[in-house]
Structure 1
Amino acid sequence: MPDTISPPGLTASNASLRAYLHGLPGVDEVGAAQRAAGLATRSIKTTAKAQAIDLAIRMVDLTTLEGADTPGKVRALAAKAVHPDPADPSVPRVAAVCVYSDRVAIAVEALRGSGVAVASVATAFPAGRAPLEAKLADTRQAVADGAAEIDMVIDRGAFLSGDYLKVYEEITAVKEACGDAHLKVILETGELVTYDNVRRASWLAMHAGADFIKTSTGKVSPAATLPVVLVMLEAVRDFRAATGRRIGVKPAGGIRTTKDAVRNLVLVNEVAGADWLDPAYFRIGASSLLNDLLMQRTKLATGVYGGPDYYTLD
């Protein structure tokens, strides 16, 4: 449900929402970029790096969102999610498998009893250009088929034109349609143009009931840049201070290497705090990242890279 500590009259009109969102502190773009770049240089020692790699694996939403996704590909991805390296049972499972809504039932069956959640993109992913009724029907079907998490896209056209109330009301409607499923709200930060807009969209989504705020669909560039993730982590930190609710963050798009993943974990720890270093509150949407994490994990354990051909292609 939406938080109950919102300012009185917040959603009375577009004017009230605009006044609230534009009253948030502005983002120092140069400062955000410099801080993110500085944190990206932090080095992690061998033992801590091994722990970070396993944590990153546990945070992965292993994703396939292509028109050519077949039932066989979804089942193969599910198998990899549960046993990322079949030759090494000590490798942890990932957090979730993320698929299109018409593939949810297949993923649910393949993952039954594994502890890996099924997430589904809905609401006319990735463009979000559909009537609300269609978005809600898509969401309800995915949940009925067993999705435990819904990744919805906001209407960026409405947001950029200042129709904040429409965006808010769509998020609250989708949240209601989710029932017990968690809702991740995709901002598509590459289309929001400014860090101020990223901050405003983050607060709007959180007030509307998001359980997570997510950077991107992975279909638009730039996607999960470190400064954008920093701004969103500041938003969830400050939102908890204001409301008592802890909201998760999910960067997605462009995170392909272990170095990328570790940089994000450092950012989480330094900006939001250690409370967010948990798959319940931080996820990484990725497809190719997992193989690199496995390669680096093998290198730390044996001193030898397994090589990309050793692991299945996603």
Structure 2
Amino acid sequence: MTATPTILGSGLDEVTRSEASLRQFLHGLPGVDQVGAEARAAGLGTRSIKTTAKAYALDLAIRMVDLTTLEGADTPGKVRALASKAMRPDPADPDCPSVAAVCVYPDMVATVRETLGGSGVHIAAVATAFPSGRAALDIKLADTADAVEAGADEIDMVIDRGAFLSGRYQQVYDEIVAVKAACARADGPSAHLKVIFETGELQTYDNVRRVSWLAMMAGADFIKTSTGKVQPAATLPVTMIMLEAVRDFREQTGRMIGVKPAGGIRTSKDAIKYLVMVNEVAGPDWLDPDWFRFGASTLLNDLLMQRTKMTTGRYSGPDYFTLD
């Protein structure tokens, strides 16, 4: 359905050296056939998987969850409980895997770090004036640096959608580069950077493809659909376009970038549709928590319910697991 994107010609530096060259590259990417994209995504969403594969998929989806709470009413007690659940989602089953990360506001990072200890569950913090992205750059960089200093090993930044939609691509590119630099840690590895597009505000699939390439060229480690605060959030067609972008970017540059759909993914059935799409569009290399995540708060409980049904033959009610 999609032609190979324009090769990065004489190199990344040449493409990103000016507003004009960046615009030329981004608008030279193949346009997205909206009808074709939606039809293909719908078709992939009808695939079914067998029992043993479903059991594997449920455990994989659990391992891919960024368990998230991003509310003004978040308290240290709520965040500690969420972090405990991240480590042991089903206390009655020691074989149940832990999730990938706990995602919180920067002021809660220290609380999460104390709770998680050396569990291996990552700490993700939203930054850069989440969810609007409307703040001065120095404030965004301070927000990022504070989260990293507190112990975040993943930063979820939001782009300035107003700048992108106005065609100020160089501004968006430069901000991502600067935030990436702010993810550096003097005494250890840099925090990974996830760049949130808020695809529900980007208006067209062509814009989703363009912003995916823009973020990857600027140094994103992950590209992420949404904040979860705007509807529509993650959708199968949008995620498919982003998966095509990371696949093609690796073919062009050798660099592998992760993808994170977030917002509105609530059921195991939905999660499995996304896993099928990952395998079919990007390939099996992305079927790993290092390269694909679900940003979710309610999805985990449904995954646990389905997992219990497969192991015991009985459904547990939604109140059997802790409510988030």
Pick aligned residue for 1:277 from 287, 307, 315: 287
1:181 aligns with 2:191: yes
Q: Which of 224, 228, 248 is equivalent to 1:218? A: 228
1:4, 1:277 → 2: CA distance?
A: 30
Counterpart-to-counterpart distance in 2, 1:220 and 1:281: 24
CA-to-aligned-CA distance 1:273-295 (integer Å, 9 cap, x gap): 00000000000000000000000
Read off the aligned partner of 1:65 and give its amino acid letter: L
1:219-260 CA-to-partner distances (Å, cap 9, x unmatched) read: 011111000000000000000000000000000000000001
For 2:66, give the aligned amino acid.
D
Distance apart, 1:6 and its partner CA: 3.8
TM-score between both structures, scaled by the size of structure 1: 0.98
Counterparts of 1:6-155 in structure 2, within 5 Å, are 6-155=11-160
SS at match of 2:314: coil
Q: Return the alpha-carbon distance in structure 1 between the equivalents of residues 213 and 288 of structure 2.
A: 21
Kindly state the Cα deviation for residue 100 of structure 1 after the two structures are TM-superposed: 0.1
Structure 1 unaligned blocks of 5 or more: none
* Counterpart secondary structure, 1:184: strand
Contact 1:252 1:286 in 2 (8 A): yes
Provide the rounded CA distance (Å) in 1 between the counterparts of 2:288 and 2:157. Answer: 22
Q: Which residue of 2 aligns with 1:160?
A: 165
Select 1:287's aligned residue among 297, 300, 320. 297
Compute the RMSD of aligned alpha carbons: 1.2
Structure 1 residue aligned with 2:307, among 274, 297, 300?
Answer: 297
**2:251 equivalent in structure 1:** 241
Separation in structure 2 between the aligned mates of residue 122 and residue 7 of structure 1, nearest angstrom = 26
Secondary structure of the residue that 2:14 maps to in structure 1? coil
Question: What's the CA shift string for 1:20-56, capped at 9, x where partnerless?
Answer: 1000011111111001100100001111000000000
Report if aligned partners of 2:128, 2:157 keep a CA contact under 8 Å in 1.
yes
Paired residue type of 1:124: A
Structure 2 residue matching 1:224: 3-state secondary structure: coil
Asked if 2 retains the 8 angstrom alpha-carbon contact of 1:82 and 1:94, the reply is yes
Secondary structure, in 3 states, of the residue corresponding to 1:118? strand
Match of 1:265, as an amino acid? Answer: L
Give the match for residue 214 of structure 2: 204
| 1:153-196 deviation digits (Å, cap 9, x = unpaired) | 00000000000000000000000000110000001100001000
Alignment of 1:223-234 (within 5 A): 223-234=233-244
Deviation at 1:9, TM superposition (A): 2.4
How has the CA–CA distance of structure 1 residues 313 and 139 changed in structure 2, closer, same or farther, with 3 Å as cutoff? same
For residues 174 and 313 of structure 1, what CA distance do their matches in structure 2 show? 34
- 2:15 partner SS: coil
Unaligned runs of 5+ in 2: 1-7, 185-189
After the TM superposition, list the runs of 4 or more consecutive aligned residues in structure 1 that deviate by more than 4 angstroms. none
**1:19–1:191 Cα change, 3 Å:** same
Letter in 1 for 2:266: R
Secondary structure of 1:249 counterpart: strand
Contact 2:12 2:217 in 1 (8 A): no
1:261 paired with 2:271, answer yes
Partner amino acid for 1:155? Answer: D
8 Å Cα contact 2:198/2:230 also seen in 1: yes
215-224 or 3-12: bigger deviation: 3-12
Partner Cα separation in structure 1 for residue 58 and residue 279 of structure 2: 15
- Output the amino acid matched with 2:105: Y
Shift of 1:302: 1.3
- With over 3 angstroms needed to count, the CA separation of the structure-2 counterparts of 1:5 and 1:144, relative to structure 1, is farther
Q: Report the secondary structure of 1:221's partner residue.
A: coil
Supply the AA of the counterpart residue of 2:63: R
- Between the two proteins, the alignment pairs up a number of residues equal to 312
Q: Deviations over 1:197-231 (max 9, x none)?
A: 00000000000000000000000111110000000
Q: Which shows bigger deviation, 5-14 or 99-108?
A: 5-14
